[in-house]
C-alpha cells in the first residue's frame, strides 16, 4: 500500500463484514464498517462532500468560516476537512451531547457553541436556529445545512451505496439504515432504485423519533424518548429524508441498542457506537422475521470509544434500568455499585493510598469501601486521603490499612429507608451489610435518585420496599 497524501483520502471505501456470530434466521447479514472512516463515523462522507460541493460551486473558499448545527459526528467530519482545507469552523451543538464529543471537536480546532437541548426546531434557542442566525451575523460565513444540503445525500448515492453494491457482488435484497438528516438512507435508496428497484429499504429508528411513524403514515408521533442515541432519529422530518423511498421500519429501544453493541463486541470483535446498536438490532429483527433467505446489508455507522463509560458500562446501564437488575425489595435496591453484581469499586487494606486515589478519580466516587474476603473492614474517603498526604507525600505509597476508618455504621439490608436518615444527618455514607456480607454503599444522592424514581408510585417513602 502506497503512502497517502491526506487523511481525506481515507474517507470511504470501507470494508464489508459478513456477520457470523448472530442468529440471522434464514438470512445472511453484512455490515459495512463505517467506523473505519478517519473521524470514526459515516458522517465523514457527507462532511467532505458538502465542503467540496460548495467549493466547486464557488460558494466558499479557504479562509471562510463554515457553520453547522450538529450532534457531533458530522462536526467531527467537518473539523477534519475544514482544518485540512483551511476553513474556520463554528459548530452549534445541543448541550445534551456526550461531553467527550465536545472535547474532541474543540481539540480539532472547532469553535463549539452550546445550545439548549430541551426546545423544538422552531424555537430561537434550538441549535439549528442559532446556527442559521450565526451565518447571518458572522461576515464571510456559510451555513452548510446537512439536513437539506443535497451534496450530503449525493455522497451516499455516489459513494456509500455503489461501494456496497460492488462488495455484495450486485446481489442484495435489503438495506437496513438509520436516519439523522436522512442523507444516508435517501442517497443509498436512490442508487438502489436505479440498479435494482427490488432492494428493500428498511428504516432503523430509535425510540422517541417521529420518523418511523411518519413513514407509516401515522403522522409525527413521538414515542418515549431515547436517552442514549444522539445521531439518528429526530422530532421533525428533515428535507434530506425522503419518506417515499422507505419500504418498512423498525423501532429500537435503548435496551435493544445497547444490548446489540455489547454482543457485537463479544461475538464479532467490533466496537460500535450506540447508533450502530440501533442499526444492528433492527437488522437482526428484520432478518429473523423473513421466511425466505435474503442478503441484508446494514452499517456499523459509528465507533464505540465515546460510549465506553455509558453504553458499555454494566453499572451505568444497571443504574438506568437498561439491563435487567434483580430487585430485592430492600435497601440493596438503592445501591448503585452493588457487590453482588460485581459492580462495587473497592480497595483492599494492603492497596496503597495511591491506588485508592486513582480509583476515586477513575470511578468518580468520593469514598471507597475497604474489603477483605468479601467483608467490609474499613472506609477511606477523599478527606482521609488528603489529610494523610498533605504533610508527607510519601504516604501515597503506604497501605490503606494505616489510614482507613474502622468505626463503621452498618445498616442491615432489611432496615427501613428511614433508618438511613440518621446516618446522612451525620454526613456519613450508609454501609449496607449484614454479619456475613457487604452489599454496597448508599449515598445521599442514591436516596434522592430512589425517591425520584419512585415519585409516582407512593407518597410514603418506606412503602415501596416490600418488607416495610
Ligand atoms: C452515527 C451516525 N449514524 C448514522 C448517521 C446518518 O445520518 P444521516 O441520516 O444524517 O445521513 C449519522 C449522521 O450523523 C451518524 O452520525
For ligand 1, is residue 76 a contact (CB within 6 Å)?
A: no
Query: Candidates 178, 203, 206: which one to mutate for ligand 1, based on the most atoms within 8 Å of Cβ?
Result: 178
Tell me the backbone φ, ψ of residue 381, rounded to 5 degrees.
-125, 180
* Grid cell locating 124: 430561537
Total residues belonging to the chain? 468
* Atom of ligand 1 lying closest to residue 275 CA: 1
* Atom of ligand 1 lying closest to residue 240 CA: 9
Map out the domains of the chain with their CATH numbers. Answer: 10-41+153-307 (3.40.50.1100), 44-143 (3.40.50.1100), 326-464 (3.10.580.10)
Which letter, b or e, does each residue of 370-405 get, where b requires 16 or more Cβ atoms within 10 Å of its Cβ?
bbeeeebbbbbbeebbeebbeeeeebeeebbbebbe
Structural contact between residues 303 and 40, judged by C-beta atoms closer than 8 angstroms: yes
| 327: CB partners within 8 A, 6+ apart | 333
pLDDT at 218: 65
9 CA from centroid of ligand 1 (Å): 20
CA 82 vs CA 15, 155, 181, 236: distances in Å: 25, 17, 20, 28
| Burial of 367 from C-beta contacts in 10 A (0-12 / 13-18 / 19+) | buried
Torsion sign (Cα): 266, 270, 274, 275: negative
The bridge status of strand 28-33 relative to strand 16-19 is antiparallel
* Atom of ligand 1 lying closest to residue 74 CA: 14
62 CA from centroid of ligand 1 (Å): 26
Tell me the backbone φ, ψ of residue 353, rounded to 5 degrees.
-60, -30
pLDDT at 318: 79
pLDDT at 221: 57
For ligand 1, is residue 147 a contact (CB within 6 Å)?
A: no
Q: Quick one: how far is CA 64 from the chain centroid?
A: 32
What strand order describes the sheet that includes 430-433?
410-411, 430-433, 438-442
Query: Candidates 184, 209, 307: which one to mutate for ligand 1, based on the most atoms within 8 Å of Cβ?
Result: 184
Q: pLDDT truncated to tens, each residue of the chain (468 aa)?
A: 889 999 999 999 999 999 999 999 999 999 999 999 999 999 999 999 999 999 999 999 999 999 999 988 999 999 999 999 999 999 999 988 888 889 999 999 999 999 998 887 788 899 999 999 999 999 989 999 999 999 999 999 999 999 999 999 999 999 999 999 999 999 999 999 999 999 999 999 999 999 999 998 766 555 556 668 888 998 889 999 999 999 999 999 999 999 999 999 999 999 999 999 999 999 999 999 999 999 999 999 999 998 898 889 887 887 777 877 778 889 999 998 888 777 788 999 999 999 999 999 988 888 999 999 888 999 999 999 999 999 899 999 999 999 999 988 899 999 999 999 999 998 889 999 988 889 999 999 889 988 887 765 554 444 334 333
Return the DSSP state at 2. P
Amino acid at each position: 500500500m502506497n503512502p497517502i497524501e491526506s487523511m481525506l483520502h481515507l474517507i470511504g471505501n470501507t470494508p464489508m463484514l459478513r456477520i457470523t456470530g448472530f442468529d440471522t434466521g434464514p438470512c445472511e447479514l453484512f455490515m459495512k464498517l463505517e467506523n473505519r472512516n478517519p473521524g470514526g463515523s459515516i458522517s465523514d462522507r457527507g462532511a467532505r462532500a458538502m465542503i467540496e460541493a460548495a467549493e466547486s460551486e464557488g460558494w466558499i473558499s479557504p479562509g471562510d468560516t463554515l457553520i453547522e448545527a450538529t450532534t457531533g459526528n458530522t462536526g467531527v467530519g467537518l473539523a477534519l476537512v475544514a482544518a485540512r482545507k483551511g476553513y474556520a469552523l463554528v459548530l452549534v451543538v445541543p448541550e445534551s451531547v456526550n461531553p467527550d464529543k465536545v472535547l474532541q471537536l474543540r481539540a480539532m480546532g472547532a469553535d463549539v457553541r452550546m445550545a439548549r437541548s430541551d426546545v423544538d426546531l422552531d424555537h430561537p434557542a434550538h441549535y439549528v436556529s442559532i446556527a442559521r442566525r450565526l451565518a447571518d451575523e458572522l461576515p464571510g460565513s456559510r451555513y452548510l445545512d446537512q439536513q437539506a444540503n443535497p451534496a450530503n445525500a449525493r455522497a451516499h448515492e455516489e459513494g456509500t451505496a455503489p461501494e456496497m453494491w460492488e462488495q455484495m457482488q450486485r446481489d442484495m435484497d435489503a438495506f437496513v439504515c438509520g436516519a439523522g438528516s436522512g442523507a444516508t438512507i435517501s442517497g443509498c435508496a436512490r442508487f438502489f432504485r436505479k440498479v435494482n428497484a427490488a432492494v428493500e429499504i428498511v428504516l432503523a429508528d430509535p425510540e422517541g423519533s417521529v420518523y418511523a411513524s411518519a413513514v407509516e403514515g401515522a403522522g409525527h408521533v413521538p414515542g418515549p424518548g431515547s436517552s442514549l442515541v444522539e445521531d439518528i432519529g429526530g422530532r421533525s422530518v428533515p428535507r434530506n429524508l425522503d419518506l417515499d423511498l422507505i419500504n418498512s421500519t423498525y423501532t429500537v429501544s435503548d435496551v435493544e441498542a445497547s444490548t446489540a453493541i455489547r454482543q457485537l463486541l463479544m461475538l464479532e470483535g467490533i466496537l460500535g457506537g450506540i447508533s450502530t446498536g440501533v442499526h444492528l438490532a433492527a437488522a437482526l429483527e428484520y432478518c429473523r422475521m423473513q421466511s425466505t433467505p435474503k442478503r441484508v446489508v446494514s452499517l456499523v455507522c459509528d465507533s464505540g470509544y465515546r460510549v465506553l463509560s455509558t453504553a458499555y458500562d454494566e453499572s451505568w446501564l444497571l443504574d438506568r434500568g437498561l439491563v435487567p437488575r434483580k430487585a430485592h425489595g430492600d435497601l440493596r435496591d438503592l445501591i448503585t455499585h452493588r457487590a453482588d453484581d460485581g459492580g462495587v469499586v473497592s480497595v483492599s487494606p494492603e492497596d496503597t493510598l495511591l491506588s485508592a486515589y486513582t480509583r476515586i478519580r477513575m470511578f468518580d466516587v468520593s469514598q471507597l469501601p475497604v474489603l477483605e474476603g468479601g467483608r467490609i473492614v474499613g472506609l477511606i474517603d477523599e478527606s482521609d486521603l488528603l489529610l494523610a498526604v498533605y504533610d508527607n507525600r510519601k504516604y501515597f505509597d503506604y497501605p490503606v490499612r494505616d489510614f482507613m476508618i474502622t468505626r463503621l455504621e452498618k445498616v442491615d439490608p432489611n432496615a427501613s429507608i428511614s433508618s438511613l436518615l440518621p446516618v446522612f444527618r451525620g454526613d456519613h455514607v450508609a454501609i449496607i451489610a449484614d454479619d456475613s456480607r457487604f452489599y454496597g454503599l448508599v449515598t445521599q444522592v442514591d436516596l434522592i435518585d430512589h425517591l425520584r424514581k419512585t415519585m409516582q408510585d407512593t407518597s410514603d417513602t418506606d412503602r415501596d420496599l416490600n418488607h416495610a
